[in-house]
Amino acid sequence: RSLDLALQYGLKEQIGDAYLKLSELYEKRGNTTESLKYYKNHVIFRDSVSNIEKVREMANLRADFEVDQKQTEVDLLEKESEIQMLKDKRQRIIIYATVLALVLIFVLLFFLYRRYSFVKETNTIIEEEKNRSDTLLLNILPKETAQELKETGHVEAKKFESVTVLFTDFKDFTRSSADLTPESLVRSVDYYFSKFDEVMEKHGLEKIKTMGDSYMCTGGIHLNKEDHAIRMVHAAFEIVRITEEVKIKNQDNIMPYEIRIGINTGPVVAGVVGTQKFAYDIWGDTVNVAARMETNSETGRINISENTYELIKDEFECEYRGKMKVKNKGMMKMYYVNKPKLQPA
């Protein structure tokens, strides 16, 4: 009955147990044939149950393996995800670092450029100021003297054996200027002296100074050419022509003046006087005689000494005036220069 029930419900383990019990019962009764048959059935069901367990175990093992494999895959995916996140994070860090480095480089380059521009602009300003200072210095001093002053801080007085000195003076300047405003007076004097400066530069002569309405210049200082007296007389004729043109053109705001010119040639001593607002000047009897030549001249005329006459007589037609009394010098020969024998090119 146990076997029938087990077979009815398909209970393999109970079927195997029923077959084994029946095999034992038939064996006790001595029916070995039936005992062996039931025992074989028992073995079959026992092995079947055992196989099922093994299959189940194998299935469990396979399931566990597949679960482990899936878990491993999940872990690998998680690791790969973590690695990718780390890579992304590292990439972001690299990008941020690169951007920050570029920004810092740009800022550094910007400040370096600003500094370069500032230094360049400063150097340009310094150079401009230096050039302006040099220009102002050259307006006060001859080029060689200015260079000596910059290099040594002082200027040694020098003697020149042959220098031509010219003085000009406007006739009745004080009386003629009495009715002018200060602005008109300065404008007129500036016009004349600026024109005279151009003449000096043209002929390679050196302006020394102005004293009120008097203009003083020299030739033969630094540019030690033997024709300095000739160049000075040519310049004197141009100065006369400038004053004549003002009268002819009747220029507005420029006062027409009559001018006297005196020239002398001889040795002088030249140097710089003073330490503040210093001035380049020349001294000697030659200068005094040149001034006397001017005071003894007539308007529109060029009065020269005998020394100058000897140097220019082959180039210019001169008119001997005879000996005339000169203050503190006694009687001196004087000459008017009338015109060049050959017109200058």
**Region 86-114: what's the mean pLDDT?**
90
Q: State which H helix or E strand residue 164 sits in.
A: strand 158-170
Alpha helices in the chain (DSSP H): 2-9, 12-28, 32-140, 143-152, 173-176, 182-202, 228-249, 285-295, 306-312
pTM attached to this predicted model: 0.62
Query: Chain-wide mean pLDDT for the chain?
Result: 85
- The predicted pLDDT at position 237 comes to 96
Condensed to tens digits (0 to 9), the pLDDT of residues 143-164 reads: 666 676 667 666 677 889 999 9
Pick the CATH number of 155-340 from 1.10.3720.10, 2.60.120.460, 3.90.580.10, 3.30.70.1230: 3.30.70.1230
* Lowest-confidence pick of 33-47, 109-123, 200-214: 33-47
- The predicted pLDDT at position 153 comes to 64
Question: Phi-psi region for residue 119, left (φ > 0), alpha (ψ -120 to 50) or beta?
Answer: alpha
**How do the domains of the chain map onto residue ranges?**
1-140, 155-340
